[in-house]
A and B are shown apart, each in its own frame.
Chain A
Amino acid sequence: MDRRVAIKWMLAAGAGTLLVHPLSFAEATPPGSASEGYGKDADLLKAHKPGEFWPLTFTDAVRRDVAALCDQVLPADDRSPSASALGVHDFIDEWVSAPYPAQVKDRAVILPGLAWVDTQSRARFGRAFSEARPEQQISLCEEMAPEAPAGSQLEVASRFFKRFRNLAAAGFFSTPVGMTDLGYIGNVPLPRFEGPPADLIEKLGLTDEVKW
């Protein structure tokens, strides 16, 4: 896909929920101490790890909560493992710790949301989210899932949960395991490009009569 088409479209499709009301989180923690990103000319060939370019944010306890939340958002099934098994919680840590404007904005949504989850879990279940029973974890997720009207008590949590879900899904499905789960086949050299299967073309009532 043309890179511009791809980026435009992915932004339109995937990040439509980026909209944040900046005033709601005016008191949010400032970004991590890193003031610079990876620069214009980073090594494109090596496999980079979260924490390599800027310090991470999560404490061990928060990291456990994030992993548990990742696994409620993307639990294991017969086709793929859970999100934390693919390190998605570390990707989210890398994301909210990054010095770039889009990530700094997300940080102001994610960190207050995680604090809300922790507070509610302790108040209701008497323990950290990561130590709550699965049905307790799910009940909190169910509470955050509906769209909350502006100004309502659940506004912070609702907006947080949508953004968290999108980040977790982005992190999950962009790993080799996640891509396979999604149904992506490619990134391997081929001797020929065969185009779509003939029976699929027929099933959709299409023809491939162009002079190629």
Chain B
Amino acid sequence: MAFITPSTTADAYDVVVVGSGAAGGQAAYTLTMDGARVLMLEAGRNYDPSTETPMFQTPDMAPLRGTATPDKPYGFFDATVGGGWTVPGEPYTNASEDPARQFMWYRSRMLGGRTNHWARHALRNGPYDFKPRSRDGLGFDWPISYQDVAPYYDKVEMLIGVYGTKEGLENTPDSPDGVLLPPPKARIGELLARQRARRIGIPVVPIHRAVLTRPLDHVGIPPKLHPGNAKAQRILAEDMRNRAACFWATQCARGCAIRANYQSTTVHIPPALATGNLDILTDAMVREVPVDEAGKATGVIYIDKRTGSEHRVKARVVVLAASACETVRLMLNSRSKRFPEGLGNSSGLVGKYILDTVGANWGGQIPLLENLPLHNEDGAGGLHVYAPWWLYKEQLAGTLGFARGYHVEFGTGRGMPGGFAPYVPDAGGRTTFGAKLKEDARRYYGSHVGFSGRGEMIPNDDSFCELDPKVVDKWGLPVLRFHWRWSDHETRQAAHMQKTFADWIEAMGGVNLKKPLNDGAKVIDPGGKVIHEVGGTIMGTEPGKSVTDAWSRTWDVPNVYVADGGVFASNADKNPTLTIMALAWRAADRILDEMKKGNL
């Protein structure tokens, strides 16, 4: 079994997995390592990071010095090779013309999906994050608790490799001993930010990122992840030996040819293929999950994008892992006599409560960091430290003016110059040029700090997606139409972020190049911009009020599971990817159990 074509698919599989990113990769890994026969369908092309990653290419080798364009919104060398904010021939729409009421949707049509360019921030949700309504009366509690997910966080961290430390901070869970890899040393600007943050009460600690700071323990980990399964242990040990540790160069967003960071294509898919139990069909756009008379899914119907022809494949179980909103679209497009409003949508909630992360940004120039002695600051190709949310007391007392927290990501230092003019002050508005330009550019290079807040959004009735009644994509499939609204909880939080960053810059002895705005609505990133799309098929305790049960199984169709971020009942400030993987592993374990019991 391996990469196949429509003519070489088997007649039937145990499980069909729709999607190949964090959720699809994890589900396929867990299922195939335990012997299930799986077909993975990916709407984009095949993608091989080991041969396609531009590891050391410099900006002068790229058109426009590699700067962002509508074709490559995160720059020419970014790993997204099949989409971005637009996918040719596959539009989506917004119901409102008001930009503040619109949602931006980032799609990576490629094997491994968005995990290929992911920032690799791998933060656990904390105990509060699964029970937010119990704390402040807003949004929804999850039907599961931190204790239910913790063992899966442990497993995912051991499998993918995550650096970080145990800090004992509130609602910021520590991992058990031996699970995390050592964090990289902080850069000089990070040390300065940390020292000055303490003066204004903000903790700065090593972040958790899915990058190997040393080789994985290929002897110790496989028996912990696959007890009693000698074949799985052997395959995983072999695969872990083939992943190199980080060599402290190149940006993770380009992907990683030496497999030092997590991508579904570097971590999940290779061992899953090695089991012999996985078939992968790329360029396959699933258009419908058909059901039989009894209301059970029979498999999927997909379009082979290379020929436009339609095919069916049978399976005992269907796992939807297409990304939160794409899964919504597939369910709504799967209409039948039994489910006239879409598969699994008897509650009418499919597409409701989509969430992103609150984002706001700010930067400053730090004289203390000017003219530093030259040294290598590439590090792990991303953040080494961050500030977890720290105002729990004020939050509980209700004095902030917004309900939920945020963490702070920040960048400093002498990264590889891209195609942007280096900062020079241009005193009095006069454009500096000549010998002075070179002198100033050298002096100020690397003397900046840039902050990004990442905060929790509360689900609301005005943020949802549905099928557009008129627009179809080039395959004739109805597309999604989005509705969006940030509430005051989010906009006030964004304003608070920017004020915090301005204070922090001052505490660093730095210069705020502009005055921060008080109007959060002007500060906040547009919906979807942070690419933490979750919700839309939320899990819950009862069928009428949620789409899936606590095991990510749709209430309506007993053999359909949602493995992606769609099941999130809230979107903590923590980046969602690690939780998506933990829940996908948990759902896959449940599927294996139920299949063994003969229930599926």
Interface of A toward B, CB cutoff 8 Å: 1-16, 37-42, 44-48, 50, 52-53, 72-75, 77, 79-80, 91, 94-95, 98, 100-103, 138, 141, 144-147, 158, 161-162, 165-167, 169-171, 173-176, 178-179, 181-197, 200-201, 204-208, 210-212
Q: Which of B72, B184, B412, B433 contacts A165 (CB 8 A)?
A: B433
Q: Which of B94-102, B244-252, B516-524 contacts A (4 or more CB under 8 A)?
A: B244-252
Q: A73 contacts B437, CB within 8 Å?
A: yes
Residue B410, interface by CB 8 Å: yes
Q: A40 contacts B84, CB within 8 Å?
A: yes
Q: A73 contacts B433, CB within 8 Å?
A: yes
Residue B567, interface by CB 8 Å: no
Complex Cα gap A41–B68 (Å): 14
Contact partners of B368 in chain A: CB under 8 A: 204
Q: B430 contacts A44, CB within 8 Å?
A: no
Q: A6 contacts B433, CB within 8 Å?
A: no
Q: B513 contacts A193, CB within 8 Å?
A: no
Q: B429 contacts A147, CB within 8 Å?
A: yes
Q: B248 contacts A185, CB within 8 Å?
A: no
Contact partners of B219 in chain A: CB under 8 A: none
Known: A72-B433, A75-B435, A170-B419. A186 touches B376 (CB 8 A): yes
**Which chain B residue shows the least CB distance to A158?**
B431
**Which chain A residue shows the least CB distance to B360?**
A8
Residue B438, interface by CB 8 Å: yes
Shortest CB-to-CB span from A73 to chain B, Å, is: 5
Q: Contact string, B453-483, partner A, CB cutoff 8 A, digits 1/0?
A: 0000000000000000000000000000000
Known: A41-B82, A193-B184, A204-B188. A15 touches B372 (CB 8 A): no
Contact partners of B445 in chain A: CB under 8 A: 182-184
**Which chain B residue shows the least CB distance to A199?**
B373
Shortest CB-to-CB span from A7 to chain B, Å, is: 6
Shortest CB-to-CB span from B303 to chain A, Å, is: 19
Known: A165-B421, A197-B373. A176 touches B58 (CB 8 A): yes
Q: Which of B57, B74, B382 contacts A1 (CB 8 A)?
A: B382
What does DSSP make chain A's interface, helix, strand, loop or mixed?
A: loop
Known: A5-B452, A174-B58. A193 touches B420 (CB 8 A): no
Q: Which of B63, B206, B422, B430 contacts A52 (CB 8 A)?
A: B63
Contact partners of B183 in chain A: CB under 8 A: 212
Q: A212 contacts B165, CB within 8 Å?
A: yes
Complex Cα gap A105–B81 (Å): 26
Q: A176 contacts B60, CB within 8 Å?
A: yes
Q: List 23 A-B contacts (CB under 8 A).
A: A2-B119, A14-B422, A38-B71, A38-B76, A39-B71, A44-B77, A47-B57, A73-B437, A95-B64, A98-B64, A100-B71, A145-B430, A147-B431, A158-B431, A174-B65, A179-B417, A185-B374, A193-B246, A195-B186, A196-B191, A201-B191, A204-B191, A210-B206
Complex Cα gap A14–B401 (Å): 34
Complex Cα gap A73–B440 (Å): 13
Q: B59 contacts A5, CB within 8 Å?
A: no
Nearest 10 CB-CB pairings of A with B: A195-B185, A9-B450, A147-B429, A14-B420, A1-B411, A189-B247, A166-B421, A5-B411, A186-B378, A174-B59
Residue B588, interface by CB 8 Å: no
Contact partners of B77 in chain A: CB under 8 A: 44
Contact partners of A167 in chain B: CB under 8 A: 421
What does DSSP make chain B's interface, helix, strand, loop or mixed?
A: loop
Q: B184 contacts A212, CB within 8 Å?
A: yes
Contact partners of A208 in chain B: CB under 8 A: 185-186, 191
Residue B126, interface by CB 8 Å: no
Q: A72 contacts B434, CB within 8 Å?
A: yes
**Which chain B residue shows the least CB distance to A40?**
B71
Complex Cα gap A192–B247 (Å): 7
Q: A146 contacts B429, CB within 8 Å?
A: yes
List B residues 293-331 near A (Cβ within 8 Å). none
Q: Contact string, B20-35, partner A, CB cutoff 8 A, digits 1/0?
A: 0000000000000000
Q: B117 contacts A185, CB within 8 Å?
A: no
List B residues 433-449 near A (Cβ within 8 Å). 433-435, 437-438, 441-442, 445-446, 448
Q: B187 contacts A171, CB within 8 Å?
A: no
**Which chain A residue shows the least CB distance to B69?**
A100
Complex Cα gap A156–B465 (Å): 46
How extensive is the interface on chain B, given as a class? 35 or more
Residue B432, interface by CB 8 Å: yes
Contact partners of B64 in chain A: CB under 8 A: 94-95, 98, 100, 103
Q: B513 contacts A12, CB within 8 Å?
A: yes
Q: A183 contacts B374, CB within 8 Å?
A: yes
Contact partners of A147 in chain B: CB under 8 A: 428-431
Q: B437 contacts A12, CB within 8 Å?
A: no
Q: Which of A11, A146, A197, A210 contacts B430 (CB 8 A)?
A: A146
Q: B58 contacts A175, CB within 8 Å?
A: yes
Residue B383, interface by CB 8 Å: yes
Contact partners of A80 in chain B: CB under 8 A: 438
Q: B61 contacts A184, CB within 8 Å?
A: no
Q: B420 contacts A11, CB within 8 Å?
A: yes
Known: A13-B363, A182-B441, A183-B374. A37 touches B187 (CB 8 A): no
Q: Which of A4, A40, A50, A212 contacts B72 (CB 8 A)?
A: A40
Known: A147-B429, A204-B188, A204-B192. A175 touches B435 (CB 8 A): no
Complex Cα gap A162–B418 (Å): 19
Residue B600, interface by CB 8 Å: no
Complex Cα gap A42–B88 (Å): 14
Complex Cα gap A210–B194 (Å): 10
Shortest CB-to-CB span from A146 to chain B, Å, is: 5
Q: B414 contacts A173, CB within 8 Å?
A: no
Q: B375 contacts A196, CB within 8 Å?
A: yes
Q: A53 contacts B63, CB within 8 Å?
A: yes
Known: A174-B419, A185-B376, A187-B378. A8 touches B433 (CB 8 A): no
Complex Cα gap A98–B420 (Å): 16
With A40-B87, A187-B249 given, name 6 new contacts (CB 8 A): A2-B121, A2-B383, A8-B450, A40-B83, A174-B60, A212-B186
Shortest CB-to-CB span from B530 to chain A, Å, is: 8
Q: Which of A11, A101, A187 contacts B70 (CB 8 A)?
A: A101
Complex Cα gap A9–B187 (Å): 18
Known: A6-B418, A171-B419. A40 touches B88 (CB 8 A): yes
Known: A9-B361, A37-B71. A182 touches B378 (CB 8 A): no
Q: B450 contacts A6, CB within 8 Å?
A: yes
Q: Which of A145, A200, A206 contacts B431 (CB 8 A)?
A: A145
Q: Which of B61, B419, B513 contacts A48 (CB 8 A)?
A: B61
Q: B52 contacts A45, CB within 8 Å?
A: yes
Contact partners of A182 in chain B: CB under 8 A: 417, 422, 441-442, 445
Known: A10-B420, A165-B432. A4 touches B415 (CB 8 A): no
**Which chain A residue shows the least CB distance to B110?**
A41
**Which chain B residue shows the least CB distance to A174?**
B59
Q: A173 contacts B441, CB within 8 Å?
A: yes
Complex Cα gap A210–B377 (Å): 18
Contact partners of A5 in chain B: CB under 8 A: 361, 383, 409-411, 450-452
Q: B248 contacts A184, CB within 8 Å?
A: no
Contact partners of B250 in chain A: CB under 8 A: 187
Complex Cα gap A162–B247 (Å): 39
